[in-house]
Structure 1
């Protein structure tokens, strides 16, 4: 784009400027909406014909959310600050993620600014980590609290009505190792039917280490693709990666009613959390396993010349996921990829019924033989 609005957006991103004047704010909001390319790629506008996330609460475990941003007006419920840091920095990263999940835009008809994948969902903001430039990171007391904050945040979210938990976290503070408390909290959430989504990590061009909470069993781990739907080079390549979503050149809400353009698997995870919210709203009471299955089966092949199972070879699609979630369970089971059936799950391949039928015929034949002999 070459419009003035586009240039204003880039200036804001580069310099962190605030635009209090209404005219500038409108131009900025227009530019932000024009650059939301991931929505079309993921079939989101078509998905809105079926669901917009009504009534679903998505807990955003992050740096906190700026409830004063115009695109999030009325969408956010503030939860606890589990870091013990106080209001040292506005939650810019958390605000960004919340807007991608449930942004509502602003202006007449909500035509300006960022709109999220599930614009009628509710965000429950729980602060579990600090901004990268937050001076509180050097406080030993805060460091201790932050290390256990994710586990406490997951449990708090579950106990306060969250149906989806979005965690664009990882890459520091022990997240390369995980912890027993976090693992237990993840299992607790899954047992309560709560969907957990996490970013796979941005270590793909470096050490490419497993990153938690994405690597815990049961968590939907999300990698990133670029605008051509090819693998983003920074995105971690691990066998726990479930699916991918757009993660480069992503426009989102920023602090001070502004916008930012950034790259990362954080954005990709937020998008998929939004899709989970759409499914939950469309199909109340749907189980965690079925939400995950619908997202995976509704995804589309990424634009790459080779299949990379360690990366996640498919891109999430909102409308297809909603349709997959509404299909009869037996159809979903039959459509499961072949490798998912390896390990003895006969029911998922259609082999189980054949075996039971054969056994029944054998029993009938034996009974008939005994009867004839008698």
Structure 2
């Protein structure tokens, strides 16, 4: 197909760029991830802030891909605009470059609140049923990276739990000290030593903490260091990453780092943000693809007054008035804090509990287990305040494991004996109060000193259930005498129905138009594969009703669906209720986007390749006077379109735009200079 471009208009020309295009000419990373590209074709003027001075330096962040498919983040700083422009150009020309951008600030998403410093009960653990989950899992064998202000490894409740980490601010091993306290508080919620009769308990007492310092003593830092920290954690044994920090700017280096970590099986959890009073601006990395974003609740299961609302919120967890560890060098060993920063580690710890009992669970499967087992709060179904609901540790474990056959013989010694006597305040304040001037020398006097009275014990029931009649005859005979004094058979015990659990992999994805997408539904019951069982596989394209076919699960309890992506669609695997099992449904949802590629093939000529539905009005646009103007329009062919566009004006810049439809997301090509 050959298209001749006629000049419709002329004008001043300046360079521009579109993020996430031209990936076909770049390194593709590993099998499990593909880098997003950005900022490679923008001018320095378009990338740089208006002011670059010694007081307001520009930090130019470049991301490249090394020979092993790993993203490498480089940051260079300039104090003049000319110097910054040179850094931008150098970063754009770097070998295997995938992104160039200006660094953004990241801040810890917490606020310290008042109240008793050493409360005998931790309402948060009881509310999410973490203590009830310990007989099934304590997080043993799982490493959780805390990407934060560092972690005070000397705290008595973190003794032996903190591995040697990385200081991304100083680019050296470290992270085992904390001049701020935020990271230590987060780490204690995840994995403080439990049952040692002092201090606090944690969600996952047997996890290991991998500290990665990306924020300074003032609780702020740069997103570029966050990206570096994510990559380092993924390469150094982390199975879960917690980020109780955020920025209102999305940084491509962080997005690529998250995708890289997920390709290595790492589950990424982040705070949703604390700016509800300011309209809940979207917070990153919480809103990045593949991240479990966590909102905060109080002890009454109300969404916290500060917790961001938004479509990116996945689940909620306790976040108000949370008691946890704190650096003793700052004058106290424990502190009470509030924020989505405090909610996020509750979820990271819960992910560790799940990962400990089933190490093969993928990040998507773990997220689905959290979401499908959460306690639905607020508006029925998913909502922007709570996401899918407040997490429940026992229910989440039940979603991925067999139910225990008997009650545990003992419970952790530090489980709280009751709920707190009063609800914490939900509004964050500016500084901690009631803190002791030095670290405690002994356990709080009000901490529980023995196993909780409500913990299960090993005693057998005092009497067997009387399902069969006793040997005594009835005191009065019925009007019609029975044929014998005793029933001919004892009543049969009620057999519990099996509860199938369905996990889709992937549960959500954005796929290229025309490609074959493979979805695998895994069905288990009581932790065992649901083998050779009847089910229905249903599909619904955007705006259409579900259509279903009968299927049978495989010998490993799976059902695989292969589908060519021609429109956004949903899949459901449905198991009907029978006399032997309960009903169950697993779901997956996919968005589909078109693709547009353009490349200069000769003087005043470019070649265009599209993957999109037929009949779309595709535009060729030229940058004129600082704005993109349509200079040509043509219709796309079925599935793929290849075109040659000639008649371009030498030195001018062009791009190709495929429109968005009701079922397909559009795309924009890279910029071509004629």
Q: Distance in 2 between matches of 1:329 and 1:156?
A: 40
Partner of 2:304: 232
The answer to whether the 8 Å contact 1:249/1:261 transfers is yes
- Does residue 325 of the first structure (1) align with residue 400 of the second (2)? yes
3-state DSSP of counterpart to 1:284: coil
Deviates more, 1:317-326 or 1:95-104: 317-326
Q: Distance in 2 between matches of 1:346 and 1:192?
A: 19
Partner of 2:188: 99
| Deviation at residue 320 of structure 1 after TM alignment | 0.8
Q: Distance in 2 between matches of 1:280 and 1:270?
A: 15
Q: Distance in 2 between matches of 1:123 and 1:189?
A: 17
Relative distance call for 1:230 and 1:103 in structure 2 (3 A) is: same
Q: Distance in 2 between matches of 1:236 and 1:357?
A: 42
Partner of 1:350: 536
| Deviation at residue 207 of structure 1 after TM alignment | 3.2
Looking at secondary structure, tell me which structure has more helix per residue: 1
3-state DSSP of counterpart to 2:343: helix
- Deviations 1:53-111 (CA, angstroms, capped at 9, x unpaired): 00100000000000110110000013111112999962410000000000114xxx412
The answer to whether the 8 Å contact 2:244/2:342 transfers is yes
Match of 1:283 among 345, 352, 358: 358
Q: Distance in 1 between matches of 2:279 and 2:538?
A: 43
Q: Distance in 1 between matches of 2:124 and 2:346?
A: 9
The answer to whether the 8 Å contact 1:213/1:219 transfers is yes
The answer to whether the 8 Å contact 2:354/2:397 transfers is yes
The answer to whether the 8 Å contact 1:60/1:124 transfers is yes
Relative distance call for 1:77 and 1:357 in structure 2 (3 A) is: closer
Partner of 2:204: 118
- Does residue 148 of the first structure (1) align with residue 334 of the second (2)? no
Q: Distance in 2 between matches of 1:276 and 1:165?
A: 10
The answer to whether the 8 Å contact 2:299/2:318 transfers is yes
1:264-283 equivalences under 5 Å are 264-283=339-358
The answer to whether the 8 Å contact 1:65/1:91 transfers is no
TM-score, length of structure 1 as denominator length: 0.75
- The structure having more radius of gyration, on CA atoms, is 2
- Does residue 244 of the first structure (1) align with residue 414 of the second (2)? no
* Runs of at least 5 residues in structure 1 that lack an aligned partner in the other structure: 1-11, 16-26, 138-142, 338-343, 359-374
How many residue pairs are counted as aligned between the two chains? Answer: 307
- Does residue 262 of the first structure (1) align with residue 351 of the second (2)? no
Q: Distance in 2 between matches of 1:215 and 1:300?
A: 22
Relative distance call for 1:116 and 1:298 in structure 2 (3 A) is: same
Q: Distance in 1 between matches of 2:150 and 2:352?
A: 20
3-state DSSP of counterpart to 1:61: strand
Runs of 4+ in 1 over 3 A off after TM superposition: 12-15, 85-89, 304-308, 327-330, 344-358
- Does residue 215 of the first structure (1) align with residue 287 of the second (2)? yes
Q: Distance in 1 between matches of 2:250 and 2:500?
A: 36
Q: Distance in 2 between matches of 1:165 and 1:281?
A: 15
3-state DSSP of counterpart to 2:314: strand
Relative distance call for 1:345 and 1:245 in structure 2 (3 A) is: farther
Relative distance call for 1:111 and 1:238 in structure 2 (3 A) is: same
- Deviations 1:110-152 (CA, angstroms, capped at 9, x unpaired): 122111100100000000112337xxx7xxxxx6xx3411111
The answer to whether the 8 Å contact 1:200/1:265 transfers is yes
